């Protein structure tokens, strides 16, 4: 054995090359796979960096120990680097031209029988993957995703600093917010009956940093929201690139984010991407065309208004909707005239599953019109539909009729589904867009009053003048979303930093000044001491990495995610705590009746 050799390794499992042949080396890692070739054992040894092949001759005194080894055992090998013969060179490995002929072996950590394979990317139930996440993270794809995440965050930090932003940390224990999603509450031992809240976002703190005179802030911020999971949202906690800028307009925020996103995406992905500036779509236009404020611009399908074609028509189902003030919207789909009847029937069923009473269609093929509803429509009405949709031979139109809001909602489901079923959505590009001009207020039909539409702390585009003189439902806010491939990466806004404008905005939504002072006293007090115009945004780090990694589920880019029920199956969280801890916090647990009954049944059993 070579003296003064490192205890565990001289090289990692991706370092050795042909020029190292003849060297005595030591490498350590996990036994990835074992192959027996007529008595000679070949082991693929894997570490964080890569794989090296280790060869064990039957003459070695530790050869017999191989019988009790299992894959994923951690082992250390000392041996000589030898060149592989030409026929056995593995060009898929960086170390594929060499192998290590082992002369010594030490087991560093034995592995039990595995609940699932690590070397193979076989299908494994998600609950098993999450319970044994430490094993799941050894798999190449997931391991690379977490490395990618680290690299993306490092690049974001470097780029933001280069653009003149400073990174500051904001509190994790904060006051509960009456707005947004449910808070995670933390009981105070020193102040019985009172609670901290984990921040849903550092919103107020980052604005206070601007009031404090800092010019450009960013933070890779952990955020906590007690909300349900979905494919692009993790329950419990997530990370966002939190950004705020003083003396900034909407255009300033957009320019900074476009610079950042273009830089990061191009560095880590080979997919096509539009150059900045990104497309800007007013909120109402997005809802009209796509039925969604997060449209996937890779999909060419849009809704168009054809209400006039059915006004007074003999197709009573649609004509009746129009007479009651509803609308008819159409979605033109190219080159689907030859699709079987089942395609159309399945799409109608899909629309019904998403709230539609029904969905009609018309096909134009070989100069003829084919449709169950064509006989109820005049030639002029058919011609108007064709002209409005710029229909060509081989195309079809799908029609939805109902109240405008209902049609938009259903269309927002039908458009992406049609795009998917018709293979219209490319997977080799990123399509970014800004959704702008959000309405400041909306009418809540259930409550019978005007409410804030989105963010109540945004600056109305016309300032105090609009609040005084405009119909509240016509007032637009300096609010915006950044969307990529149908996924909302972030919301942002130019903030309402003027106390008198904030009081008036809340008054329109039915809150008097005392409510503002009570709920947002820290913020409003700061604004009364000289606040600069400021604005910001907070793109989701998890979602951005998910897009770059081309993963359909956000849990694939988070090292230790919760499951869909907000549980950590590996660490058994959430869990019960002892009576002593509860007493220290002056808390008594009162379970819902159903859970009490279940516990009683378990105890009786």
pTM (two decimals): 0.91
At 5 the pLDDT is 86
pLDDT of 308-335, one tens digit each?
999 988 999 999 999 999 999 999 999 9
Separation of CA 513 from chain center: 37
pLDDT at 37 over 90: no
Q: What angle do CA 592, 597, 598 make, to 5 degrees?
A: 100
What span, in angstroms and rounded, lies between the C-alpha atoms of 129 and 569? 9
pLDDT of 40-76, one tens digit each?
999 999 999 999 999 999 999 898 887 788 999 999 9
At 594 the pLDDT is 74
Sorted by where each begins, the domain ranges of the chain are 18-109, 299-425
At 43 the pLDDT is 96
pLDDT of 397-456, one tens digit each?
999 999 999 999 999 999 999 999 999 999 999 999 999 999 999 999 888 899 999 889
Contact 266, 273 (CB under 8 A): yes
Least Cα distance to 539 among 148, 290, 239, 153 occurs for 239
Q: Which residues sit opposite 236 in a β-bridge?
A: 225
| N- to C-terminal Cα separation, the chain | 62
The residue-averaged pLDDT of 260-288 equals 97
Q: What angle do CA 132, 135, 138 make, to 5 degrees?
A: 150
At 26 the pLDDT is 98
pLDDT at 603 over 50: no
What span, in angstroms and rounded, lies between the C-alpha atoms of 402 and 414? 15
Strand intervals (E) in 111-168: 166-167
pLDDT at 601 over 70: no
At 447 the pLDDT is 86
* 238 backbone φψ class: left, alpha, beta (φ>0; ψ -120 to 50): beta
Q: For CA atoms 394, 400, 405, 409, give the dihedral sign.
A: negative
pLDDT at 363 over 80: yes
3-state secondary structure of 493: strand
Q: Which CATH number fits domain 18-109: 1.10.357.10, 3.50.50.60, 2.40.50.140, 2.90.10.10?
A: 2.40.50.140
Element containing residue 282 per DSSP (H, E): strand 279-282
Strand intervals (E) in 359-503: 360-365, 368-370, 396-402, 429-430, 432-436, 441-444, 449-452, 479-484, 487-494
Contact 309, 385 (CB under 8 A): yes
Higher per-residue confidence, 231 vs 264: 264
Q: Share the mean pLDDT of the chain.
A: 94
As assigned by CATH, the class of the 299-425 domain is: alpha beta
* 100 backbone φψ class: left, alpha, beta (φ>0; ψ -120 to 50): beta
At 3 the pLDDT is 56
The residue-averaged pLDDT of 265-277 equals 96
The residue-averaged pLDDT of 179-183 equals 77
pLDDT at 250 over 90: yes
- How is 65-98 classified by DSSP, letter by letter? GGGG--TT-EEEEEEEEEEPPGGG--TTSTTTTE
At 481 the pLDDT is 98
């Amino acid at each position: 054995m070579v003296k003064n050799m490192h205890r565990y390794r001289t090289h990692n499992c991706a370092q050795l090359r042909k020029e190292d042949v003849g060297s005595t080396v030591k490498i350590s890692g996990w036994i990835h796979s074992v192959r027996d070739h007529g008595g000679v054992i070949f082991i693929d040894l894997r570490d964080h960096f890569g794989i090296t092949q280790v060869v064990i001759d039957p003459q070695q005194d530790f050869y017999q120990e191989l019988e009790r080894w299992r894959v994923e055992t951690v082992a250390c090998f000392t041996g000589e680097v030898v060149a592989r013969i030409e026929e056995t060179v593995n060009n898929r490995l960086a170390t594929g031209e060499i192998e290590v002929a082992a002369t010594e072996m030490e087991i560093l950590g034995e592995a039990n029988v595995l609940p699932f394979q690590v070397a193979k990317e076989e299908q494994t139930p998600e609950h098993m993957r999450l319970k044994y996440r430490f094993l799941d993270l050894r798999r190449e794809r997931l391991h690379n995703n977490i490395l990618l995440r680290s690299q993306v965050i490092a690049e974001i930090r470097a780029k933001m600093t280069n653009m003149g932003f400073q990174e500051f940390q904001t509190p994790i224990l904060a006051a509960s917010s009456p707005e947004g999603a449910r808070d995670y509450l933390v009981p105070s031992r020193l102040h019985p009956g009172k609670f901290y809240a984990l921040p849903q976002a550092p919103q107020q703190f980052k604005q206070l940093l601007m009031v404090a005179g800092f010019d450009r802030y960013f933070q890779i911020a952990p955020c906590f929201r007690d909300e349900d999971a979905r494919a692009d949202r993790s329950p419990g906690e997530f990370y966002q690139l939190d950004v705020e800028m003083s003396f900034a307009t909407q255009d300033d925020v957009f320019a900074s984010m476009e610079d950042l996103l273009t830089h990061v995406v191009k560095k880590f992905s080979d997919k096509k991407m539009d150059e900045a500036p990104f497309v800007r779509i007013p909120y109402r236009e997005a809802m009209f065309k796509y039925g969604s404020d997060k449209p996937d611009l890779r999909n060419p399908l849009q809704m168009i208004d054809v209400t006039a074609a059915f006004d007074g028509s003999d197709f009573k189902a649609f004509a009746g909707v129009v007479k009651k003030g509803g609308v008819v919207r159409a979605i033109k789909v190219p080159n689907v005239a030859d699709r079987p009847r089942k395609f159309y029937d399945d799409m109608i069923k899909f629309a019904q599953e998403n709230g539609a009473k029904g969905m009609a269609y018309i096909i134009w093929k070989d100069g003829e019109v084919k449709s169950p509803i064509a006989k109820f429509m005049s030639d002029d009405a058919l011609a108007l539909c064709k002209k409005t949709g710029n229909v060509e031979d081989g195309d079809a139109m799908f029609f939805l009729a109902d109240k405008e809001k209902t049609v938009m909602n259903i269309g927002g489901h039908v458009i992406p589904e049609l795009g998917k079923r018709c293979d219209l959505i490319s997977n080799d590009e990123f399509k970014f867009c800004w959704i702008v001009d959000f309405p400041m207020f909306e009418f809540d039909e259930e409550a019978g009053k005007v409410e804030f539409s989105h963010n109540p702390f945004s600056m109305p585009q016309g300032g105090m003048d609009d609040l005084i003189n405009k119909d509240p439902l016509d007032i637009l806010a300096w609010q915006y979303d950044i969307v990529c491939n149908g996924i909302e990466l972030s919301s942002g806004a130019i903030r309402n930093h003027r106390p008198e404008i904030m009081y008036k905005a809340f008054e329109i939504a039915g809150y008097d000044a005392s409510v503002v002072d009570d709920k947002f006293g820290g913020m409003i007090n700061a604004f009364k001491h000289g606040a600069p115009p400021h604005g910001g945004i907070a793109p989701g780090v998890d979602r951005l990495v998910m897009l770059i990694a081309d993963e359909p589920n956000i849990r694939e880019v988070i090292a230790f995610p919760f499951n869909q029920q907000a549980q950590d199956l590996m660490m058994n969280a959430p869990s019960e705590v002892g009576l002593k801890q509860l007493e220290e916090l002056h808390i008594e647990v009162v379970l819902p009746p159903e859970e009490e009954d279940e516990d009683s049944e378990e105890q009786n059993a």
